[in-house]
Amino acid sequence: MIVAVWIIAICEIIRAIQNMIQIAAYHHDSSKRDNAYDEFIKSLKHDDAEFVKRMLEGFEKQEYLK
């Protein structure tokens, strides 16, 4: 019985460490994620014609890079 309690305690400690690592990674990447959200919101403010124009310009730049 005591062995089972120790095994459960060790598993819970390992799970807590895994959660801390995930939270640290989440906070570390928050600036990139916020930047992506901001860019997405900026893209919503443009109309469809401007969006297509920018997309075609991007395709042209990629074609010139090849």
pLDDT category at 62 given cuts 50, 70, 90 is: confident
Residue 54's Cα: distance from chain center in Å? Answer: 24
Domain count for the chain, please give it. 1
pLDDT band at 66 (very low <50, low <70, confident <90, very high): low
Q: What is the pTM of this model?
A: 0.47
- DSSP for 9-28? HHHHHHHHHHHHHHHHHHHH
Looking at the predicted structure, is the pLDDT value of residue 65 above 70? no
What does the pLDDT look like over 4-40, one tens digit per residue?
999 999 999 999 999 999 999 888 777 777 787 787 8
Domain that includes residue 16, residue range: 2-65
